[in-house]
A and B are shown apart, each in its own frame.
Chain A
């Protein structure tokens, strides 16, 4: 029994399977969509999901929805490209989940310790929109096609400032290793050292996970469900889950590089990694909460306006944030 526990507590098992990997990701997926609906409902002066489990405010609503996805007929329309139609959502989901393996759950507690972990993570994240575009093409639907094109435009818009603002933090800490970046924030969090990068990165999380006001690729009143229009049943569950998983990964990354990761937890509580992990997780939840709260506030931008914001505002700001980092380093660094 203890052997099993020891085995599970090995970072190379614990991280992909428990936290921040599969198990937590799945629970977050169930929780975050429910929370999104509940938060929007509260702002809108109503209850949201409730009767499915009344004492807990309908907390298992997503389980009911998941069951429905599972047992619904997965329609594969006649005119789609079958191979892409079936495999693109699977790969998309996998790719959205994959970056969790490079995220550290505690000091020195990583599945893959690499000096380049930030780059690996960003690189993996960049891949998933490609599959969104592929599945949009494979759906053979005009609305999907437009949605895919919109996704493509947005990718080119947000990737550059996303990299730049992440890199500005790397410049600040002088490392590309996420663990080392967290260690560098022992005294002061990154968000205070480079607030500009923090704001830009937060906006970019909204864009890249297509949250309001940048929910453009699947704008329902314009192009139905965008790339996912033709998907039904469990395939739809996968593509929907993928975008929330991406939010989860980016939120954790945000917590790690801007919000000080497991600090200010005292060092004697950081090992075993549970408490450190919980600390990171809670910070990530805050970011996720902000991202889903935006649904209740904003309508969506038009695609040209979003691209304009990306190139005219976010790119210059991201470049500025690099200079800000250089300035901070010049003035004494961290």
Chain B
């Protein structure tokens, strides 16, 4: 069929070339800076609570701390989000789900590990049913505390924004346009 997406116009090398050109353009200096600026102020964490730190995470978006000021808007589906916040312990059962969610998210995507449990297990470090998020996901920022105060979460957001604006986290070279 001619209309199938493959045969339409992005044929073979043309598609690859176009993609290369797009990547080259996107990684050019002013565009890259604008892109990084936009991404840093539009961090949408996916609505995925792994454990009890979700209570303090909710308090972070609640009126007293209002994380939406940083453009941080908890959003519903993994396809539209770019930030995975591991909120507390990651159990073995949940770890599978976390990997799944992480894979569903579009590039560029970031991971924050919130709470002692999400770093090294915290008080549950010797539980038989937990996984350390840093072993299975590329964690960018760690928030200690059990649970961390909402200020610490805000601090982590600011630190992540800084890192993104430095251009250290967003890389397009490996990114595939169509999966």
By a CB distance below 8 angstroms, the chain A residues around B178 are: 74, 76
CA distance A225 to B79 in the complex (A): 10
Do A51 and B41 contact each other (CB < 8 Å), given the known contacts A72-B106, A83-B3? yes
Q: Which stretch of B68-76, B85-93, B128-136 is in the interface? A: B68-76
Of the candidates B34, B62, B179, which one forms a contact with A75 in the assembled complex, judged by CB atoms under 8 Å apart?
B179
For chain B, which range describes its interface: under 10, 10 to 19, 20 to 34, or 35 or more residues?
35 or more
In the complex, identify which listed stretch (A37-45, A161-169, A317-325) lies at the interface while the others stay far away: A37-45
Q: Which of B103-160 contact A (CB under 8 A)?
A: 104, 106-108
Interface status of B56 (Cβ within 8 A of chain A): no
CB pair A51 B108 closer than 8 Å:
no
Cα of A44 to Cα of B63 in the assembled complex, Å: 7
A64 in contact with B71 (CB, 8 Å): yes
Question: Is there an interface contact between B71 and A51, defined as CB atoms closer than 8 Å?
Answer: yes
CB distance from B56 to the nearest CB of A (A): 17
Our pick among B44, B66, B106, B108 for the contact of A46 (Cβ within 8 Å) is B66
- A179 CB-CB contact with B under 8 Å: no
Contact pattern, A 60-93, Cβ under 8 Å of B = 1, otherwise 0: 0101111110111111111000110010000000
B68–A41 CB distance below 8 A: yes
CB neighbours (8 Å) of A76 from chain B are 178-179
B49 on interface, CB distance cutoff 8 Å:
no
- State the CA gap A75–B73 with chains docked (Å): 21
Shortest distance from the beta carbon of A4 to any chain B beta carbon, whole Å: 28
Fill in one digit per residue for B1-14: 1 if any A CB lies within 8 Å of its CB, else 0: 00111000000000
Q: Which of A37, A70, A230 sits near B79, CB closer than 8 Å?
A: A230
* Among candidates B26, B35, B79, B175, residue contacting A232 with C-beta atoms closer than 8 Å: B79
Give Cα A220 to B119, complex, Å: 30
Tell me if B38 is interfacial: C-beta within 8 Å of chain A.
Answer: yes
Contact across chains for B71 and A82 when beta carbons are under 8 A apart: no
Are B5 and A72 in touch, CB under 8 angstroms? no
* Cβ–Cβ < 8 Å partners of A86 in chain B: 5
- Say which residue of A37, A67, A73, A229 sits within 8 Å of B68 (CB atoms): A37
CA distance A177 to B154 in the complex (A): 54
Q: How far is the CB of A33 from chain B (nearest CB, A)?
A: 11
Q: Are A64 and B5 in contact (CB under 8 A)?
A: no
Judge whether A236 is part of the interface by a CB distance below 8 angstroms: yes
Assign chain A's interface to a size class: 35 or more
A61→B37 CA distance, assembly (Å):
11
Cα of A150 to Cα of B173 in the assembled complex, Å: 41
> Across the interface, do A45 and B63 meet the contact criterion of CB distance under 8 Å?
yes
Which residue on B lies nearest to A86, using beta carbons?
B5
Judge whether B50 is part of the interface by a CB distance below 8 angstroms. Answer: no
Q: Do A68 and B179 form a contact, CB below 8 Å, given A73-B106, A82-B5, A231-B79?
A: no
- Cα distance A231–B176 in the bound complex, in angstroms: 16
Q: A67 contacts which of B42, B73, B76, B177 (Cβ < 8 Å)?
A: B42
Partner of A68, one of B3, B76, B82, B104: B82
Instruction: Identify which of A52, A74, A75, A231 contacts B71 (C-beta below 8 A).
Output: A52
- Interface residue? B169 (CB, 8 A): no
> A66 CA to B34 CA in the complex, in Å?
11
Q: Is the pair A66, B38 in contact by a Cβ cutoff of 8 Å?
A: yes
Q: A63 contacts which of B3, B4, B38 (Cβ < 8 Å)?
A: B38
A233 touching B179 in the complex, CB below 8 Å, given contacts A71-B38, A224-B77: no
Most buried by A among B26, B35, B77: B77
Q: Which residue of A lies closest to B6 (CB)?
A: A82
Query: Which of chain A's residues have a CB closer than 8 A to the CB of B73?
Result: 37
Residues of chain B touching chain A, judged by Cβ–Cβ distance below 8 Å, are 3-5, 26, 34-35, 37-42, 44, 62-63, 66, 68-71, 73, 76-77, 79-80, 82, 104, 106-108, 175-179
Pull 14 A–B residue pairs with CB atoms less than 8 Å apart, ordered by A.
A37-B73, A44-B63, A46-B69, A61-B71, A64-B71, A66-B38, A68-B82, A71-B39, A73-B179, A74-B177, A74-B178, A224-B76, A231-B79, A236-B79
A-B contact sample (15 more), CB < 8 A, given A61-B42, A72-B108, A233-B106: A37-B73, A44-B63, A47-B68, A47-B69, A48-B66, A49-B69, A67-B35, A72-B106, A74-B106, A74-B177, A75-B104, A75-B106, A83-B4, A225-B80, A231-B79
